[in-house]
Structure 1
Amino acid sequence: MTGRLRQPTGRYGGKSAEERQAERRRRFLDAALQLFGDSPGYRGTTVAALSEAAGLSTRQFYEQFHTLEDVLAALHLQVNDWAEQAAAAALARARDLPLAERAAAVFGAYAADVTSDPRRIRITFVEIIGVSPRLEEQRLERRSRWVEFICAEAALAAERGEAAPRDYRIAATAFIGSVNGLLHDWRAGWMEATLDEIVDELVRQLLAILRPADWRPGA
């Protein structure tokens, strides 16, 4: 033997194997956002078409995902994560403001993020519906996180004497449905309004839930 074979370092083009895998995954998700969120939609997309749009091979697809449903699931989570991060950041900045201003800041940030790209709306509110029991469970789980978010903030507002103290779970679930439906319809062009007007309406609805007619501050 003339010498030992060198062990592979796992680096190519200055990137580690993990970095290359992460980049490929991102490219598949970016391509899925375009194809699933625009045309032809999730149900009209094939693995070959997605791979071509990502500039990668089908072999590389199966290194990252098992099925197209896995891609849709990952994309749905990513879109929701972006919206959650926007809302959380807005809440952190507005934490010491009065309730109405806090709500306006949070829903303004959420609405701006969700509606910034019509493809995100379609992924969240259209393409995910009716695909499989697994994705329906995921959709409901992510919605429940928003319900918990609203309930937690309602409880804090009640502690501050800004809202009526009660269990808001049912009301929060109904309100989330209103938020999703209103933003979807607005982004689809089914109503004439500015995004600020949409956010103002959502804040009014939330305040009406938190402050019923017979409630008085500090009661």
Structure 2
Amino acid sequence: MTGRLRAPTGRYGGRSAEERKAERRDRFLAAALQLFGAAPGYRATTIAALSEAAGLSTRQFYEEFRTLEDVLAALHLQVNDNSEQAVLAAFEAARDLPLTERVTAFFRAYADSVTADPRRIRITFVEIVGVSARLEEQRLARRARWVDLICAEARAAAARGEAADRDYRLAATAFIGSVNGLLHDWSAGWVDATLDEVVDELVRQLLGILRPPDRRP
């Protein structure tokens, strides 16, 4: 039999189906960052509006996500992952520096990442809060990762003789709440300070936890 049909290659315009799918997803997330993180906000955005902003159809939306909540969940994880990668890179670069310089590098990397775009702050500290039990679980799980990171640095500092040797989980949990609150209030204009001043304050707070007043350096 001649003229046999060729099997589809799965490529269109030089891109595979997986590449086109990833591009569509990125376009939806970029549009969500603008609509959720600026105006009108997550709760006032519709699937139709998000699809239009992404330059895609609602049919294509449902090929990537089930609900708008799924988009918000993915965006929240993306913002946190970017910040975590920046912090881990800063930790690695500052690993051999004294404690104060390591802590400063930690917060500078985190603050630079999360405040580089005000929309990221709104996603992380405003839009994600109170949406659903599922997203609250995700938000608290990501907060727990930051607590674990603080505890790991505290243990490393204690092993070097730079910090008290104790359980830091309670203090780290309280401290992360302080970080979130201060950065949110700063981004909202409720705190009259520069970002450098905010970072310096957070560094002082963490050093105060690691080096209590009754402990000699």
Q: Given the two structures, how large is their TM-score scaled by the length of structure 2?
A: 0.98
Alignment of 1:160-199 (within 5 A): 160-199=160-199
Q: Which amino acid aligns with 1:163?
A: A
Q: Which amino acid aligns with 1:7?
A: A
Q: Deviations over 1:25-64 (max 9, x none)?
A: 0000000000000111111011110000000011110000
Alpha-carbon distance in structure 2 between the residues aligned to 1:18 and 1:104: 40
Alpha-carbon distance in structure 2 between the residues aligned to 1:57 and 1:113: 31
What fraction of aligned residue pairs are identical, expressed as a percent?
80
Which runs of 5 or more structure 2 residues have no equivalent in the other structure? none
Q: Deviations over 1:56-97 (max 9, x none)?
A: 011110000000000000000000001101111111111000
Instruction: Specify the alignment match of 1:114 in structure 2.
Output: 114
CA shift, 1:164, in A, is: 0.3
Alignment of 1:137-216 (within 5 A): 137-216=137-216
Alpha-carbon distance in structure 1 between the residues aligned to 2:4 and 2:32: 44
Is 1:13 the counterpart of 2:13 in the alignment? yes
How big is the alpha-carbon RMSD for the aligned residues of Structure 1 and Structure 2?
0.8
Instruction: Specify the alignment match of 2:88 in structure 1.
Output: 88
Aligned length, in residue pairs: 217
Q: Which amino acid aligns with 1:104?
A: T
CA shift, 1:2, in A, is: 3.9
Alpha-carbon distance in structure 1 between the residues aligned to 2:187 and 2:159: 36
Alpha-carbon distance in structure 2 between the residues aligned to 1:165 and 1:216: 13
Once the two structures are overlaid, the 10-residue window that deviates more, 185-194 or 204-213, is 185-194
